[in-house]
Amino acid sequence: MTEKKQDQSLSNRTMGDIARMAGVSESTVSRALAGSELVAEKTRDRIQEIARTSGFSKNEQARNFALRKTYTIEVIFPIERGTLQQVSDPFFVDMLAVLTDELGKRGYDLLMSRSPPWDEERPGCAFTGARADGVIFVGQGRHRSEIRDFARLHKKVVTWGAALPNEDTCVIGSDNVGGGRRATEHMLSLGRQSIAFLGDLSLPEISQRFEGFKSALEAAGKTVSKDLVINSPFDIEEARSATHILADIYPSFDGIFASSDMIAIAAIANLRQRGLRVPEDVSVVGFDDIPSGAHMSPSITTVRQKIRTAGKILVDQLLAAIDGETPTSEILPAELVIRQSCGSGRIPAN
Amino acid sequence: MTEKKQDQSLSNRTMGDIARMAGVSESTVSRALAGSELVAEKTRDRIQEIARTSGFSKNEQARNFALRKTYTIEVIFPIERGTLQQVSDPFFVDMLAVLTDELGKRGYDLLMSRSPPWDEERPGCAFTGARADGVIFVGQGRHRSEIRDFARLHKKVVTWGAALPNEDTCVIGSDNVGGGRRATEHMLSLGRQSIAFLGDLSLPEISQRFEGFKSALEAAGKTVSKDLVINSPFDIEEARSATHILADIYPSFDGIFASSDMIAIAAIANLRQRGLRVPEDVSVVGFDDIPSGAHMSPSITTVRQKIRTAGKILVDQLLAAIDGETPTSEILPAELVIRQSCGSGRIPAN
DNA sequence: TGCACTCTTGCAAGCGCTTGCATTAATTCT
DNA sequence: AGAATTAATGCAAGCGCTTGCAAGAGTGCA
């Protein structure tokens, strides 16, 4: 009883069937359903009516195949091998949501694939397999060069991440350097003396934020202390243990620039656990502006990434590339959003 | 200069090309590349070698078309019309991530579409259009009956949500009733006298949680007070304004059962804003167990949904359905995770 | 009435791959 | 050595749709 059945029971009528019902040829049906002016209005209406009442739905797989299009875009999160679970950072999710919306508006679907094209162990990149018309990389991870090679080779690729000056490939990203600088400057302006940095410097976006961090310190006549640069992954659990060390070395610092809001949350949790107060004892500034950041206590001061704008641009540029144009990179402003975790306006006790 | 180019410049070789290079027929190439025993090992190796070195990649669109398969599953979040932004609740995201993983393991891709099949205004359900082999609904939203109709009609559909007794369609979900009951019982056991409920009762999952809430109260000889049942959407911003009313009526309650962690976060933010303490003045219990819940202050007591298990089962059942078997519904245990926001073990002051 | 048109419609090829069946080549058996 | 197998390959149809081109049917005009 376990043999596979081919019971595509219903509504797998083809255009041929409709043609037969309408007493016309298949091509006429095709044109009628496409609303072509070529077929007489009367016939067109009749055919459409028949199609509707008989519950016909066009086989888009076949259609797309004939047109050599797919109307789907592959979205890849170039995270490390393993589960996608790791991207549960709300930032990525929001980006995904925005992309789905923007692509949808333009008639495209979004295909999440599980592996980047250079992943040897797993088969099938939907894009090279012609199952997608283009690809969007969300973040560069540790694969900046692979992405660049891939993009150079295949065109029809845009990536969200850190744009470098001599980039010949389309990358859209926030002004990470500026954001990092402003975040740091803000804490300095509040009188914070020594500020720690939390983040994974092997990721280009993060290293840009560090860049800004560093330049702000230097502009203030300070230097970056090795001890205060802590490597921390995006994942909140791991971030929490990674930043554990921080609380140990208090009071060698009185401010933290966390390279993502999730990391900021982890850091705050850590400090709290050790009895330190945020922002009284330590200022914390995050990055991203995730939705819940405003509702925590303390609410998180952060650098906002204009993610909806970003999604729109990514999609626009990619579709332009698909149309044969050359997409252009862009850097989006990253604005400082001041809330409670930095202790704004309050002079720290010590 | 803006005419579209067809510059699929490279690597769009077809099997015919490879066949020519190898001096064999197209069918032999097809079989060789599929690793068929039908073709001599020697030829097979030679063909594979040629394919590899010439950078050939099989056109999966064509392949799938020929096979009448797509190896992609459509995932639909039946949220209200508008942007997908609304699903930025980490719970949905985590579900999405798990589904991507699980589908990936089994060789399927995940297609996010923006509109449910019954959305008139927007064309194209990938599934009915034969661009997907099956569909997973994540949550039922306000569309339980549409989903059921759709599933009955098309088979090859599974949904995450609230299973009702006489369900003839495959739905996998948490034990919402039990979870709601345990959450409430716990607060009662801590001595809380009057507990509010926050959530959108028009959603089946939530109404089940309310069911549990109610039964716990009744078992304790209490009744549900209308004033303490507040309608709140999932979105954190909206939830915050929706729950605003609560703080006003304190101290008519001393506990809150929030039907999702995001709502719990919003509620806590609200109470705090009015100078109320959690858990000292008010106990709060959430639902979902989102990753950041453990790292907030207070950390959130919640009902954990076994989302990874859920994803696995959803995929298993759907693929079974695709194989012609009959998928079976299942209810997953929902476990209470006690943290700080309920004030566990502490007797409330008043 | 006949010719040149314009409208509608149909024919058939083609998209790149898979696969049942026929064909040929190699092998084994009597 | 010839017949009967078996192994390796090729032929051609087909998946459901689109579309260039040809053909048929009206229409207007001389």
Kindly write down the DSSP assignment for every residue of A174-218, as one continuous string: E-HHHHHHHHHHHHHHTT---EEEEE-TTSHHHHHHHHHHHHHHH
- Order of all β-strands in the sheet with B72-76: A330-332, A171-174, A157-160, A134-138, A72-76, A109-112, B109-112, B72-76, B134-138, B157-160, B171-174, B330-332
Query: Is some CB atom of chain A closer than 8 A to the CB atom of B70?
Result: yes
- Report pLDDT for A85: 53
Q: How many helices (H) and strands (E) does chain B have?
A: 12, 12
Q: How buried is A108 (Cβ within 10 angstroms: 0-12 exposed, 13-18 middle, 19+ buried)?
A: buried
Which single residue is written with the structure tokens 């973040």?
A139
Residues comprising chain A, all counted: 350
- Characterize B57-76 residue by residue with b for buried, 16 or more Cβ atoms within 10 angstroms of its Cβ, and e for exposed: bbbbbebbbeeeebbbbbbb
pLDDT, tens only, B20-76: 999 999 999 999 999 988 989 899 999 999 999 998 999 999 999 999 999 999 999
A26: pLDDT strictly greater than 60: yes
* Mean pLDDT comparison of A235-244, A308-317, B152-161, highest-scoring range: A308-317
Residue B279 pLDDT > 70: yes
User: At A5, is the pLDDT very low, low, confident or very high (cuts 50, 70, 90)?
Assistant: very low
- pLDDT at A4 exceeding the cut of 70: no
Residue A24 (CA) to nucleotide D27 (C1'), in angstroms, measures 23
The answer to whether residue B98 neighbours chain A at the CB level (below 8 Å) is yes
The DSSP bridge partners found for residue B304 are B288, B335
Chain B, residues 193-232, CB within 8 A of chain A, namely none
The model's pLDDT over B203-254, given as tens digits with 9 standing for 90+, comes to 999 999 999 999 999 999 999 988 899 888 877 877 888 878 887 887 888 9
Average pLDDT of the residues of chain A: 87
Is residue B7 predicted with pLDDT exceeding 50?
no
Task: Assign A12 to helix, strand or coil.
Answer: coil
For A162, other C-beta atoms within 10 Å of its C-beta total: 23
Task: Give me Rg for the CA atoms of chain B.
Answer: 26
d(CA B270, CA B277): 10
Which has more pLDDT, B117 or B63?
A: B63
DSSP B215-231: HHHHHTT----GGGEEE
Chain B residues with beta carbon closer than 8 angstroms to that of A104: 84, 113-115, 122
Q: Across residues B84-103, what is the average pLDDT?
A: 80
CA distance A160 to A174: 9
Q: Chain B: nearest CA to A204, how far in angstroms? A: 24
Q: For residue B297, what pLDDT band results from cuts at 50, 70 and 90?
A: confident
Task: Look at residue B70 in the predicted model and tell me its pLDDT.
Answer: 94
Residue B249 and residue A24: Cα distance in Å, rounded? 70
Per-residue pLDDT at B29: 94
The answer, as to whether pTM is greater than 0.85, is yes
Confidence of residue A123 (pLDDT cuts 50, 70, 90): low
Query: Is pLDDT at B148 greater than 70 in this prediction?
Result: yes
Band of pLDDT at residue B9, cut at 50, 70 and 90 = very low
What pLDDT, on a 0 to 100 scale, did the predictor assign at position B207?
94
Q: How far is B220 from chain A (nearest CA, A)?
A: 33
* Highest mean pLDDT out of A249-253, B180-184, B291-295: B180-184
Nearest to B1 by CA among A342, A216, A254, A325: A325
Between A189-193, B89-93, B311-315, the lowest mean confidence (pLDDT) is in B89-93
| Residue A304: pLDDT over 60 | yes
Considering only CB atoms, A72 lies closest to which of B65, B111, B268, namely B111
Distance from CA of B109 to the nearest CA of A (A): 6
* pLDDT band per the 50, 70, 90 thresholds, residue A237: confident
Round the average pLDDT of chain B to a whole number and report it. 87
Which band of pLDDT confidence, cut at 50, 70 and 90, is reported for residue A129? confident
